[in-house]
């Protein structure tokens, strides 16, 4: 990378598959760093429309291969691109980050549990179950309640159910049977947690890694609602453990780009890995203002194999609050100007998406000296959109 | 603005005439705020190419009128759009900010001097001179040296000369004579200054104004080289005076959007207005990381008549250093990756422009606790591009 030319035609061009808000938020740092960015969006008018140089189906091999020819490295706004397509891209000499060998552990939760166990990373008790009997067995052995997840495809609370009876996921077992490929569901102990944490780490192909301070995440109805940075955790050992887990997973799985390791801090003191995401993550949006290098900038630097930036906080506290679509579908008057007027210190982020109930349409971040004050302001500003 | 819809087709769309780096740097805040942005660029492949939905000549009326029909408000990356075109836009009901009545004072330096005098704003001694005799008279009355400027078209040191003999600008007088419209040159006393300051202020059509802390600018060969924020000025009265001048000019001239008032802090204590710019300005680039609301975000909010954001500093000190093209024209190896590696806390901004000697191709900003340390780091990072 030494001696890389900068200039109208000399920049590295990064291709992002997926036109959602994660791709949208990669565009500003690409502009600032002088990196080219092209998005393959699923449809016209998506969140990342400003950089959507291509529109097409990421499940169609020819569409993806053609897109890859227009960029220097391919990365993702989501984790759904089929393995076969990713492996074919690599076979054709395309740089793909994260690589399919790593991404599979974000695409299949059972594979992920197996890998984490192999790496010695602490996880909740779990099992891959092929039928209701095996599932009921696990439930009975774990206090009568458990969390069941589909192995593939879930996000923002979808594909996750807390159950006490195995027949509560009969439809999922039916779907597996109909699939023909069979498969298992993932069942996990229902962890009694004090808080949920997220450890974000970025890693380059050359191996350099940088971690952000671990953050606390607050979920509502299975969807991220608030993020407190840094996590107001009393015990420094917990912070060290979270950071260590982040690095172990990033290296052990061979992730490149940004990795988010979501964890439970259990009441009994255990720190247990819940989920992995191999892309910029909701828990990292605070970093746009709250970190010297945002997760979006860092993701671009990492996948382009450029040196990583400082992950220091820019202020003692940063809080992000999500803005979701309200109870009524369709364009709704949003008191946007009121929020801007009443909260001149709050940073508003709109994803330019049509509001549907519960859909992520933006977020608000406030940074400052005191976590409680910053949190109150961010909550109030986000609520003012309702 | 209350009840403004946000959503895929509900956002205000801002049109920027001019495809340079100022337009380029307006794109990230437009993305974050969910505002539409379209740039009318002079040519393909300019700095703001990512948002250049139109390419054409801003001096061609039909090009500009057609562009204006695609946006809700028109603003500028430069101040060269002819008055006749701007007035016709307004006659056609197009929102133009800043308005031609204000912009004329950035387009014509003699008009500017006259207006500032009428507002009672302190300026260097000056005169509009129609010939060498009048010019030599002024020079002789002001210690044998003076600054001569063309009334229109100068920037980054062009159209400005320090002279002791009137014949040193004979070519400019000749050009005026050949122009047919006649006209005058502007001559000003050569101010013995301690430092140069820049006061940035944003103003909305509704009248709301917010000012950034006054900054110190350091020029080299007539081009901005460094900006120190806030200005390390010993006397609080100077800060107050600069802020007051900024507001007086913004209101008195009726500027909307961002206004930069460049001033001299003279050795005899006078604070004197040197130049006005009615657009985001080099002296405000520090605000991308150094201010809660950057000048670019603020400019969009102001021209869209949205409430303005806080201009508080995000850290005690911010220093921006420009990166200029080196001595050799054409694409050159730039030690980009080295700068990223050696200065992980420095924020690099590339304008994706072909480096020509002395051309602004990017800048570096560092924020932190101590001005001297921040300045040293920013200088070193910018120098590492050479």
Here the tokens at position A148 are 């069941």
> What is the nearest CA distance from A330 to chain B, expressed in angstroms?
9
Note whether A237 contacts B: Cβ–Cβ < 8 A: no
Cβ–Cβ gap A344/B309 under 8 Å: yes
**pLDDT score for A352:** 93
Model confidence at A290, in pLDDT bands (50, 70, 90)? very high
Sign of CA dihedral B191, B194, B196, B198: negative
End-to-end CA separation in angstroms for chain B: 47
**pLDDT score for A9:** 46
Peptide bond into A98 cis (omega under 30): yes
Cβ–Cβ gap A307/B362 under 8 Å: no
**pLDDT score for B6:** 39
User: Annotated binding residue at A191?
Assistant: yes
**pLDDT score for B62:** 98
Cβ–Cβ gap A288/B345 under 8 Å: no
Measured distance CA(A9)–CA(B307) in Å, rounded = 38
- The single-letter DSSP state of residue B305 is T
Beta-sheet pairing, B223-229 with B257-266: unpaired
CB-CB neighbours of A213 under 10 Å: 21
Note whether B386 contacts A: Cβ–Cβ < 8 A: no
Give mean pLDDT, residues B211-227: 96
Average pLDDT, chain A: 93
Strands (E), chain B: 13-17, 36-41, 54-55, 73-76, 95-96, 126-129, 146-150, 160-163, 185-189, 193-203, 209-211, 215-220, 223-229, 257-266, 271-277, 317-324, 347-350, 360-368
In tens, the pLDDT along A336-350 reads 888 999 999 999 999
Measured distance CA(A27)–CA(A19) in Å, rounded = 11
Give mean pLDDT, residues A296-303: 98
We find that the CATH architecture of domain B13-96 is 3-Layer(aba) Sandwich (3.40)
A56 has pLDDT over 50: yes
Model confidence at A333, in pLDDT bands (50, 70, 90)? very low
A194 has pLDDT over 80: yes
Yes or no: say if A322 and A224 are a contact pair by the CB < 8 Å rule: yes
Model confidence at A328, in pLDDT bands (50, 70, 90)? low
Picking from B151, B125, B154, B153, the residue whose alpha carbon sits closest to that of residue B137 is: B125
B78 has pLDDT over 70: yes
Model confidence at A5, in pLDDT bands (50, 70, 90)? very low
Cβ–Cβ gap A352/B34 under 8 Å: yes
Choose the mutation target among B336, B338, B351 for the interface with A, i.e. most A CBs under 10 Å: B336
Measured distance CA(A208)–CA(A306) in Å, rounded = 10
Give mean pLDDT, residues B115-123: 97
Picking from B281, B267, B143, B263, the residue whose alpha carbon sits closest to that of residue B224 is: B281
Here the tokens at position A365 are 């971040």
Model confidence at B329, in pLDDT bands (50, 70, 90)? low
Q: Which residue of A has its CA nearest to B29?
A: A28
Of B32, B288, B309, the CB nearest to A349: B32
In tens, the pLDDT along B351-362 reads 999 888 889 999
Across the A:B interface, residue pairs with CB atoms under 8 Å apart total 173
Measured distance CA(A327)–CA(A325) in Å, rounded = 7
Q: Which residue of B has its CA nearest to A24?
A: B31
Cβ–Cβ gap A34/B350 under 8 Å: yes
Interface of A with B in 351-380 (CB under 8 A): 351-355, 361-362, 367
**pLDDT score for A338:** 87
User: Annotated binding residue at A149?
Assistant: yes
In tens, the pLDDT along B153-198 reads 777 778 999 999 999 999 999 999 888 777 999 999 999 999 999 9
Q: Which residue of B has its CA nearest to A350?
A: B34
CB-CB neighbours of B182 under 10 Å: 8
End-to-end CA separation in angstroms for chain A: 47
Q: Which residue has the tokens 């939905």?
A: B53
Percent of chain B with pLDDT over 70: 95
Yes or no: say if B15 and B40 are a contact pair by the CB < 8 Å rule: yes
**pLDDT score for B5:** 31
What is the predicted ipTM? 0.94
Pinpoint the alpha helices (H) of B126-235. Answer: 132-141, 170-179
**pLDDT score for A331:** 52
> What is the nearest CA distance from B366 to chain A, expressed in angstroms?
10
Measured distance CA(A146)–CA(A140) in Å, rounded = 9
User: Could you tell me which residues of B are annotated as the binding site?
Assistant: 109, 149, 188-191, 196, 274-275
- Cβ-based contacts of B363 with chain A (< 8 Å): none
Percent of chain B with pLDDT over 90: 86
Q: Is B193-383 in the same CATH topology as B125-189?
A: no
DSSP 3-state of B108: coil
CATH of domain A125-189: 3.30.1490.20
Note whether A338 contacts B: Cβ–Cβ < 8 A: yes
Question: A305-319, B112-126, B133-147, B232-246 — which is least confidently predicted?
Answer: B232-246
Give mean pLDDT, residues A50-60: 96
**pLDDT score for A180:** 78
- Cβ-based contacts of B307 with chain A (< 8 Å): 337, 340-341, 344
Here the tokens at position A361 are 């349409």
Interface of B with A in 25-54 (CB under 8 A): 25, 27-28, 31-34, 37, 45, 50-51
- Cβ-based contacts of B333 with chain A (< 8 Å): 3-5
Cβ–Cβ gap A348/B31 under 8 Å: no
Cβ–Cβ gap A352/B8 under 8 Å: yes
Model confidence at B249, in pLDDT bands (50, 70, 90)? very high
> What is the nearest CA distance from A279 to chain B, expressed in angstroms?
19
Of A6, A335, A337, the CB nearest to B306: A337
Class of domain A193-383: alpha beta
**How open is the CA angle A356-A358-A363, to the nearest 5 degrees?**
95
Give mean pLDDT, residues A136-154: 94
Q: Which residue of B has its CA nearest to A1?
A: B337
Give mean pLDDT, residues A291-319: 98
Give mean pLDDT, residues B323-336: 68
Measured distance CA(B24)–CA(B39) in Å, rounded = 9
Domain range summary for chain A, segments of one domain joined by +:
13-96, 125-189, 193-383
B4 has pLDDT over 70: no
- Cβ-based contacts of A308 with chain B (< 8 Å): 344
The residue among B329 and A127 whose pLDDT is bigger is: A127
**pLDDT score for B330:** 55
Give mean pLDDT, residues B135-142: 98
A332 has pLDDT over 70: no
In tens, the pLDDT along A11-43 reads 899 999 999 999 999 999 999 999 999 999 999
B386 has pLDDT over 60: yes
What pTM value is reported for the model? 0.95
User: Annotated binding residue at A189?
Assistant: yes
B133 has pLDDT over 80: yes
A318 has pLDDT over 60: yes
Of A5, A34, A344, the CB nearest to B331: A5
In tens, the pLDDT along A229-284 reads 999 987 889 999 999 999 999 999 999 999 999 999 999 989 999 999 999 999 99
In tens, the pLDDT along B37-49 reads 999 999 999 999 9
């Amino acid at each position: 990378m030494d001696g890389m030319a900068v200039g109208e035609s000399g920049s590295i061009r990064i291709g992002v598959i997926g036109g959602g808000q994660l791709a949208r938020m990669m565009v500003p740092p690409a502009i600032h760093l002088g990196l080219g960015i092209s998005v393959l969006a699923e449809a016209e008018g998506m969140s990342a429309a400003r950089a959507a140089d291509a529109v097409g189906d990421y499940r169609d091999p020819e569409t993806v291969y053609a897109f890859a020819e227009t960029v220097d490295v391919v990365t993702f706004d989501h984790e759904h691109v089929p393995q076969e397509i990713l492996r074919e891209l690599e076979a054709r000499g395309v740089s793909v980050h994260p690589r399919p060998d790593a991404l599979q552990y974000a695409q299949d939760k059972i594979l992920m549990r197996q890998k984490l166990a192999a790496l010695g990373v602490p996880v909740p008790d779990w099992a891959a179950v092929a039928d209701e009997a095996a599932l009921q067995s696990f439930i009975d052995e774990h206090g009568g309640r458990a969390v069941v997840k589909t192995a593939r495809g879930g996000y923002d609370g979808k594909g996750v159910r807390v159950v006490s009876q195995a027949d509560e996921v009969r439809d999922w077992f039916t779907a597996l049977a109909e699939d023909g490929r069979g498969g298992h569901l993932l069942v996990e102990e229902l962890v009694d947690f004090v808080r949920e944490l997220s450890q974000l780490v970025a890693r380059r192909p050359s191996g350099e890694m940088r971690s952000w301070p671990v953050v606390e995440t607050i979920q509502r109805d299975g969807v991220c609602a608030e993020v407190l940075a840094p996590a107001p955790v009393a015990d420094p050992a917990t912070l060290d453990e979270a950071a260590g887990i982040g690095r172990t997973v990033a290296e052990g799985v061979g992730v490149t780009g940004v990795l988010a390791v979501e964890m439970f801090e259990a009441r009994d003191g255990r720190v247990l890995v819940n989920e992995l995401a191999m892309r910029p993550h909701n828990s990292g949006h605070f970093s746009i203002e709250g970190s010297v290098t945002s997760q979006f900038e860092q993701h671009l630097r990492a996948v382009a194999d450029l040196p990583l930036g400082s992950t220091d906080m820019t202020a003692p506290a940063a809080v992000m609050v999500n803005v979701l679509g309200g109870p009524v579908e369709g364009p709704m008057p949003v008191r946007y100007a009121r929020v801007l007027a009443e909260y001149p210190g709050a940073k508003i982020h709109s994803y330019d998406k049509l509001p549907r109930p519960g859909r992520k349409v933006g977020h608000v971040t406030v940074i400052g000296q005191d976590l409680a004050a910053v949190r109150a302001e961010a909550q109030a500003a986000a609520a003012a959109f309702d």
